[in-house]
Chains A and B, each alone.
Chain A
Amino acid sequence: DAKTTQPTSMDCAEGRAANLPCNHSTISGNEYVYWYRQIHSQGPQYIIHGLKNNETNEMASLIITEDRKSSTLILPHATLRDTAVYYCIVSPRGAGGTSYGKLTFGQGTILTVHP
């Protein structure tokens, strides 16, 4: 699986947008970009994923560059409860329910949302 690079930590003011970058310059054509987060003492939580188009759901937006070598996770209105470690992961994904197995987590970005 391709390696990802994320900043170690970031701060954000409550109510503002949090923009978390991720570099994945060695991403392969069949690899998706996944974002998970882990709030203290909990298991990781899925946020969003994408292949090459920008994606949006109720939690966040994912912007992937045209060359797919980097992406940005956007939390549009950060709250204190969004304080967590955010992991950017690239992994292949099959169609029709085929699972490709493991996620390779890096160190992630510690996002601190302050009042």
Chain B
Amino acid sequence: GAGVSQTPSNKVTEKGKYVELRCDPISGHTALYWYRQSLGQGPEFLIYFQGTGAADDSGLPNDRFFAVRPEGSVSTLKIQRTERGDSAVYLCASSGGTAETQYFGPGTRLLVL
């Protein structure tokens, strides 16, 4: 079946601009996670949704970062006033049912110039 998909696969933007990153989880998965991975580092947790609500947003670095999941399926990570330090790969994962294994998408590579 279809896995987790993320769009766009690559995004180049200028400092100060606003970006939106989209995640389509595996159908039926109730839990959705966002992570950020800088070069040479392991993924770093940002936020976790259970259904439509954010169950844990403790990893969001500051108030420029915001994520939504209005219908409990697709999620959008929004970054305002981007900074060069936001450049990273943004990974989305989903899990559900009794498996609880997190299945990751291929990521969106964000470059802020």
Contact = CB atoms under 8 A, between A and B. Distances in A.
Give the residue among B33, B48, B104, B107 with the most A Cβ atoms within 10 A: B104
B48 A101 contact: yes
B102 interface: yes
B104 A87 contact: no
Interface residues of B, number: 29
Q: How large is the interface on A (under 10, 10 to 19, 20 to 34, 35 or more residues)?
A: 20 to 34
A99 B91 contact: no
A44 interface: yes
A94 B31 CA distance: 13
A44 B95 contact: no
B103 interface: yes
B106 to A, nearest CB: 5
Contacts of A105: 35, 42-44
Contacts of A104: 45
Nearest to B106: A43
Interface string B49-77: 01000011001000000000000000000
A93 B100 CA distance: 8
Interface in B9-54: 30-31, 33, 35, 41-45, 48, 50
Given A43-B105, A46-B101, A99 B95 contact: yes
A102 B100 contact: no
A96 interface: yes
A43 B104 contact: yes
A42 interface: yes
Give the residue among A44, A49, A106 with the most B Cβ atoms within 10 A: A44
Contact of A102 (B4, B33, B104, B107): B33
A45 interface: yes
Interface of B: 4, 30-31, 33, 35, 41-45, 48, 50, 55-56, 59, 91, 93, 95-98, 100-107
Interface of A: 41-46, 49, 85, 87, 93-94, 96-97, 99, 101-108
9 contacts: A41-B106, A45-B104, A93-B100, A97-B96, A97-B100, A101-B31, A101-B45, A101-B48, A102-B59
